[in-house]
Structure 1
């Protein structure tokens, strides 16, 4: 079922507009830059002219009222999107050399080698997340975009010398998502909508295999240095039979009981130096969910310090039905805003 959905999505989005004769964002920017330079005040710098062009294009082609942190990021991403020497980040990219938990999940590994007795409540964690734009110009509506994204999260038992420091859990998350800017400006915000299809798996087999597929919508609002998102989702069923030693079925049929049906996200960039982020998931029927708080701060160059606190269910797929508190400290390579 997932394969057919991916094929349908690609055909629906790529075929009808593959030959669309619309200008790319880079074309629009270069055209604006050329026109503005000819008529610019002699006191204006090139940086000021570029900033003015970015604002004009954002207002005309993305429906933005005033540029916020996310609009600025999207504009800069569009300018370098098809540069072969630039990798565009998707979610945050970070390394936490130290992350500790107050409730280690040994039960998940009780039937798996000797891990249950030897894994430690302190480990390392990192996340790598990138995205690739799939077309250069307007597709269905002005300012829209289609992406392929990939996120990898890994938890590394680097301090467990008795079991050769294995990667305890790695989650792989490929996705297709489509972005539409809107001209709706509640409370003077800019808004947009994402529609996505994603798969998430830990790449394991049999009793420690975890995976799910879902479709989602993400309603995004921004104003100045503040962003808010509401992302509901629907889990695509994988059959009625659970996975056993002999049968490959649904690895985690009750995952939405713990992961919920939506996520609220917020981010605030204070003085371009300090960023606070918040994620909340909840299932109101089971009263299970999670909260994650992140904080980034300057270090040196492009590197930023990053502290992360998590409380609830589903920090990783193997822990989807296990409640714990975790705190980590390390380095962020990219921010949210």
Structure 2
């Protein structure tokens, strides 16, 4: 998935709007400070003194927030010569809350597909487990949880950031009554990445790039174990309601297995033959609808995959999500298995 990394050009609309939201948030912080101060105060302190003490602390915290917003705004004005696209608007919105204690910022999409069909369920990978192999259903459920956390910003140039992100995907055989509805596959992907805007505006759009390191594993052992580590770079482009990402990668080499069942060897030495060396992603949004396409290809082996996604409004914060996939690598256990999949479900956030 976009994975990636569709975050760049963090742009703040203006200091005044942000200051307005800061004042509202700081009111509760001031009340909390007063309550704590009263509990810890000695008998000689007056209420006026405690109030002055908390107001001074409140003003200091607000000044820090305004200073950070001002830096981001200056960087935005210097680097963005064209109007914001959807990615920039998303990052602008995220920047206001991503450092809040009780806020989890989405990385990729967060969704659940109660029904995900396949024309050819992968049974070959489970030959050592005939009780599973013979009872898998062609319809299962899938969900994805993906969040990111900012680590630091404005390191090398104004507007750049370091992130840690974690994505979990799970395929659940919820309709398999004969085998107690197991999770057929679960993939875990932690990553760290650096993103930065570029002062380059082809076609009157905005550009940026990311560089990252990720580990992806299914957390299994022996015959069912699948994993790989990648270093990737991604070029990002946006214009109005359109976004494009080109993401090549290099797999970190692993030692060959010395014997069958060796826990330290490479679980899938031929994974690049099927997963390819790059991913191309594009998305377009009109009104409340969003269409996306993601493609991978190994031109030497003629193996790859294409995935289409479509989101539409439902109710409240819930978004309808439909997806179609054809090719290899829909999950790690299926990296060398070709299939066609169609799913429908609900998402909590769009890609853009």
TM-score by length of structure 1 reads: 0.83
Matched pairs, number: 294
Matched, 1:103 2:120: yes
Aligned to 2:302: 287
Shift of 1:239: 1.0
Q: Which residue of 2 aligns with 1:205?
A: 221
Kept after mapping to 2: 8 A contact 1:96/1:124: yes
Query: Per-residue displacement from partner, 1:78-107 (whole Å, max 9, x unpaired)?
Result: 111101121100001100000000011101
Which of 75, 80, 99 pairs up with 1:82? 99
Question: How far apart are the structure 2 equivalents of 1:65 and 1:130?
Answer: 29
State the partner residue of 2:209.
193
Deviations for 1:175-207, whole angstroms, at most 9, x for unmatched residues? Answer: 000001001111111000000000000000001
Equivalences for residues 147-166 of structure 1 within 5 A: 147-166=163-182
Question: Which residue, 249, 255, 259 being the options, matches 2:275?
Answer: 259
Shift, 1:60, TM fit = 1.9
Q: How does 1:198-237 map to 2 (within 5 A)?
A: 198-237=214-253
Question: Structure 1: which 5+ residue stretches go unaligned?
Answer: 1-23, 36-52
In structure 2, what is the Cα distance between the partners aligned to 1:34 and 1:121?
53
Please report the RMSD computed on the Cα atoms of aligned residues, expressed in angstroms.
Answer: 2.3
Residue among 159, 164, 167 paired with 1:143: 159
Write the distance in 1 (CA, Å) between the matches of 2:117 and 2:258: 31
Question: 1:94/1:242 Cα in 2 relative to 1: closer, same or farther (>3 Å)?
Answer: farther
> Which 4+ residue blocks in structure 1 deviate beyond 3 angstroms?
28-35, 53-59, 61-64
Give the Cα–Cα distance (whole angstroms) in 2 for the partners of residues 285 and 130 of structure 1. 34
CA contact (8 A) 2:18 2:96 kept: no
Classify the secondary structure of the residue corresponding to 2:143.
strand
Structure 1 partner of 2:54: none
Q: CA deviation at 1:245?
A: 2.2
Instruction: Find 2:132's aligned residue among 107, 112, 115.
Output: 115
How far apart, CA to CA, are the structure 2 residues paired with 1:299 and 1:288? 36
Aligned counterpart, 1:335: 350
Q: Partner of 1:16 in structure 2? A: none
- CA distance change for structure 1 residues 300 and 55 in 2, over 3 Å: closer, same or farther? farther
Q: 8 Å contact 1:58–1:75 — kept in the other structure?
A: no
Contact in 1 for aligned 2:11/2:91 (Cα 8 Å): no
Q: Which residue of 2 is the match for residue 304 of structure 1? A: 319
Q: Is the aligned partner of 1:59 residue 2:82?
A: no
Note closer, same or farther for the CA distance 1:275–1:60 as it changes in structure 2 (3 Å cut). Answer: same
Alpha-carbon distance between aligned partners in 1 of 2:258 and 2:87, rounded to the nearest angstrom: 41
Deviation at 1:65, TM superposition (A): 2.1
Task: Please say if residues 54 and 75 of structure 1, whose CA atoms lie closer than 8 Å, have aligned partners that are also in contact.
Answer: no
Assess, with a 3 A threshold, how the Cα gap between structure 1 residues 54 and 127 changes in structure 2: closer, same or farther.
farther
Is 1:61–1:142's contact at 8 Å kept on the other side of the alignment? no
